[in-house]
Structure 1
């Protein structure tokens, strides 16, 4: 399993994964609130926006690959510098790869990158209370719950409550990937 920057050449695999998993992903997908700009309708537009944000230093979009096949996406959003040094992480996975430990490993690698190479201090993950699959990811990584945010994000057509989880560099001095490997040794 690897993570790497999301590329325009991922278009076919990304579209295919999103189409094949549409019903599975819709309950968790961000939507545009009424009166705001619509979300990108094409992969090319999405990549263009993500690259623009990445150049500004506010986003890091990653593709997740399993044995060379596109398996999902992890995106670091809302990167704040200055006295805060924090960001949010969001992710999705092709259902064919779910339940195999791929996403906990991808999220661990992404957060480790944020807390080391990117120089961030804190990384947050917001999860809908009923999203048991995502809750399992933070559980496996032993990321602490730090709060509850009513009507936090517009998801699947409405403002949805989220549980907030966060980890700081002090809480993971050896990284989340190491923590995951100790808890569940990689075969």
Structure 2
């Protein structure tokens, strides 16, 4: 499979992850344990490997298999976090899910919404996908702001959906389809055209945090 080209807007860039990124990424994860741990996926009745080199090799194998698109997020040329397009389904579905993390020292600079917009646009225009989903824990206010900014549509509450930080956690599901953003997610957001209420969670689904 041909290697992905990078995607950039301003100081934010997405590029395909490389094995040699392992040291920098592992250093960021270790220095951000208190910031990231409560949002990290875990394995029921098992122990997740913290060997970043092994993790990158697995991500690149998924990429070669057409099952995912693993990126590093760069800010002004410096690694700020990761973004993975995972669970790619082809055929009649043509959908995927986005997951991400960003270092605390880079928070508040618009990196994550920019990266999510870039990744979603690439998925619709280059990778042949039709639908992109993001699932977010109700407690994760920062990630909820990302989908609110970009105008992702709220699609429902998923009970005990993903194993996070040692237990099965509820998640809110948000999505966009290609038809929702004919001019692109990034352009719609930058131009102030993203619907502000698309990600609104109805009172019946709101969980007490």
The answer to whether residue 26 in structure 2 is matched with residue 19 in structure 1 is no
CA distance in 2, matches of 1:119, 1:61: 16
Aligned length: 182
CA displacement 1:65-102 (0-9 Å, x = unmatched): 01110000110000000000000000000111111111
CA RMSD of aligned residues (A): 1.1
Q: Give the one of 43, 49, 61 matched to 1:52.
A: 61
Q: Give the one of 136, 139, 151 matched to 1:127.
A: 136
Query: Which segments of 5 or more consecutive residues in structure 1 lack a partner in the other structure?
Result: none
CA distance in 2, matches of 1:178, 1:56: 31
Normalising by structure 2, what TM-score? 0.85
Q: List 4+ stretches of structure 1 deviating above 3 A.
A: none
Does structure 2 retain, via aligned residues, the 8 Å contact 1:105–1:180?
no
CA distance in 2, matches of 1:179, 1:6: 27
Does structure 1 retain, via aligned residues, the 8 Å contact 2:22–2:56?
no
SS of the equivalent of 2:86 reads strand
Q: Give the one of 44, 48, 52 matched to 1:33.
A: 44
CA distance in 2, matches of 1:52, 1:9: 15
CA distance in 1, matches of 2:49, 2:180: 36
For residue 8 of structure 1, report the CA deviation from its aligned partner.
1.1
